[in-house]
Amino acid sequence: MEGALLGRASMNLQSPPLFVDAPADASTLAELMARSWRENAEQPLEYSSEFLTSMLGYPGMTADLAPAVVLDGRPAAWAAGFPRHLCVNGETGRYVLMTFFTVAPEMKGKGLGAAVWAECLRRARAAGFNGALHYCVDGNVSNFVTAAGARAAGFEAARIFTVPYLMRFLRPAPASEVQPVPDEALGFLQESARSLAREVHVARRWSAREADWQLRRRMGACVEWSAEGGLLAGYVMRVADAERTPCLFVDEIHWGALPPQRRAELLSRFLGRAAALARLAVVPLLNYTDMSQFQAAGFRRSPRLLHAFLTPFEGPAPVPASSLYADVL
Q: Which pLDDT tens digit goes with each residue over 167-197?
A: 999 999 888 777 899 999 999 999 999 999 9
| Closest by CA position to 110, among listed 17, 2, 218 | 17
2-160 and 166-305, same CATH topology: yes
90: left (phi over 0), alpha (psi -120 to 50) or beta: left
Handedness of CA 149, 80, 303, 305 (dihedral sign): positive
Distance from C-alpha of 107 to C-alpha of 87, rounded to nearest angstrom: 37
pLDDT of residue 5: 29
Average pLDDT over every residue of 198-211: 96
**pLDDT digit string (tens) for 283-317?**
999 999 999 999 999 999 999 999 999 999 999 88
Cβ–Cβ < 8 Å for 251, 327:
yes
pTM over 0.75: yes
Answer whether 274's CB lies under 8 Å from 93's CB.
Answer: no
Predicted local confidence at residue 190, as pLDDT: 98
CA-to-CA distance for 181 and 273, rounded, in angstroms? 14
CATH number of this structure's domain 2-160: 3.40.630.30
149: alpha, beta or left, given left = phi > 0 and alpha = psi -120 to 50? alpha
Q: What is residue 2's DSSP assignment? A: H
CATH number of 166-305: 3.40.630.30
The predicted structure's pLDDT at residue 14? 46
Structure confidence by residue, pLDDT tens digits, 14-52: 466 889 999 889 999 999 999 998 877 677 899 999 999
For residue range 121-161, list pLDDT tens digits in order.
Answer: 999 999 999 999 999 999 999 999 999 999 999 999 999 99
Contact criterion met (CB below 8 Å) for 263 and 293 = yes
Among residues 235, 251, 254, the alpha carbon closest in space to that of 196 is found at: 254
Give the model confidence (pLDDT) of 222-270 as tens digits: 999 999 999 999 999 999 888 999 999 999 999 999 999 999 999 999 9
- In the chain, where the domains are located: 2-160, 166-305
Residues 161 and 7: their CA atoms lie apart, in Å, by 31
**Amino acid identity at 147:** A
